[in-house]
Amino acid sequence: MNDGNGLYGELFADREMAALLDDRAALQGMLDFEVALARAEAAAGVIPARAADAIGAQCKAELYDVAAIGKAATLAGNPAIPLVKALTARVAAIDPEAAKWVHYGATSQDVIDSGHAQQYGAAYRLILKRTARLAHALAALTRAHRHTPMIGRTFLQHAVPISFGIKAANWLDPVVSFHDDFMLYGQSAHQLGGAAGTLASLGDQAVAVLQAFGPIMPSIGAVYTPWHTQRHRPARIAAKLGIVMGHLGKMAQDIALMAQTEIGELAEPEAPGKGGSSAMPHKRNPVLCTLILAAAKRSPGLVSTMLAAMPQEHERAMGGWHAEWRTMAELFTITGSALGQMVTLIEGLQVFPERMRRNLDLTNGLVMAERVSLALAGAIGRGEAHHLLEEASRTCVASGRHLKDVLADNPALAGKLAPDELDRLFDPATYRGATDAIIDRILALYEGEREHMVSDG
């Protein structure tokens, strides 16, 4: 996995997230499982307390050769088998009697799932931290541009005026929802089930070991029913990461389109050497948007792999479980990276209200035709008003005149509108509908979650 030090730097994996999901962290997560297992069994009277202490003393990742364990894993079929062998050897060198209690009653899947859960728990907290920071930045952007008029676009064409504030609010809303959902359902879980999910090897003491095991595992609690081939938990986490990635992609695409040369309403944060071209010195490419979009396009395939892995045979999977290992880590990695890039993008986003206003006026008032038509409907009827505005719009396009001037010269409108009514109807800042109510509702949702976000962030 890219850790930020290779040829691609931190384009697709930032160092902070990569460190949580690298091989050394995976190894420590599995060793943490072995410590918790030994202590739980000691608490239940299954193994001597002295043995648990001896095992715990050898459960430090720096004591082991990751490459050697990996080489052995190639033959064994998973890394837990050579790790347990290496751990047993280290314990035996210090306390031969304690060595027979290493990994007692557990199976490889318990070790690997719990080790991954340890990693994903740390990644989960970082995702929430970055989501909270993104929400704070989007809320500030919403408030700052509540009344900044711009053109709304449908099918990539000018539609009707909106405010940049409501666009930012609509970026914020799914981020708040994701944070709320992910707090509840984004947490992975350890497990302990033994050979076939029954802990039969621990006999009458199995329940006591299970009860002791959960609270001992650091950072994350365990569920008290093994889930060796019940994969709804990792699949649900993957789906939620995929959903937020889709939304980050939508935001990045909006921003990139608004940063096009011909539009120029937004720009990414400036930095020396950022967004250049190898051929064109004048280029300022939206590189953050590009990287976020690249991650958003990769995430559906990763999510689909997690869903495809759910049908698992009987009490232990053959291939489905194995397919999850690198897939979930990669999904956490690209989500964390994209969130970090989006935070940088929104916190430093350059907004050009004057360019928004210029683009709003680009069609000589045509974008206000709907409003004028509705205002005239009461006086001359909806059908006639619509027909009149169609004709006036064609004249506007053909002549290059402003629609307001074309309408002012139309004898059919004489006496139908107050003298200053046309001026008001063509002011996009007053064509807001429920904009303020929508913004207020989204900001209220954000404020309702803000206390949780602050504690997580």
Q: Is 420 left (phi over 0), alpha (psi -120 to 50) or beta?
A: alpha
Vertex 96: Cα angle to 93 and 98 (nearest 5): 110
Closest CA to 321 of 251, 233, 432, 262: 233
Half-sphere CA count of 8, side-chain side, radius 13 A? 8
Handedness of CA 395, 401, 405, 411 (dihedral sign): negative
Q: Residues near 224 by Cβ (< 8 Å), separated by ≥ 6?
A: 210, 211, 214
In the set 15, 125, 284, 316, the catalytic residue is 316
Vertex 249: Cα angle to 244 and 250 (nearest 5): 95
Half-sphere CA count of 353, side-chain side, radius 13 A? 11
- Residue 399's CB is within 10 A of a number of other CB atoms, namely 11
Beta-sheet pairing, 350-351 with 149-154: unpaired
Give the relative orientation of helices 80-94 and 108-144 as an angle to the nearest 10 degrees.
Answer: 110
- 277 catalytic? Reply is yes
Residue 335 and residue 242 in contact, taking contact as beta carbons nearer than 8 Å: no
Distance CA 349, CA 28 (A): 39
Closest CA to 340 of 17, 55, 40: 17
Residue 29 and residue 114 in contact, taking contact as beta carbons nearer than 8 Å: yes
Residue 270 is given by DSSP the state P
Question: What sections of 44-107 are H helices per DSSP?
Answer: 49-57, 66-76, 80-94, 96-99
Q: Phi/psi of residue 158, each to 5°?
A: -60, 135
Distance CA 301, CA 303 (A): 5
Residue 294 and residue 12 in contact, taking contact as beta carbons nearer than 8 Å: yes
- 201 catalytic? Reply is no
DSSP string, 229-250: T--HHHHHHHHHHHHHHHHHHH
In the set 24, 50, 277, 441, the catalytic residue is 277
Distance CA 169, CA 209 (A): 49
Residue 105 and residue 41 in contact, taking contact as beta carbons nearer than 8 Å: yes
Q: Which residues are catalytic?
A: 277, 316
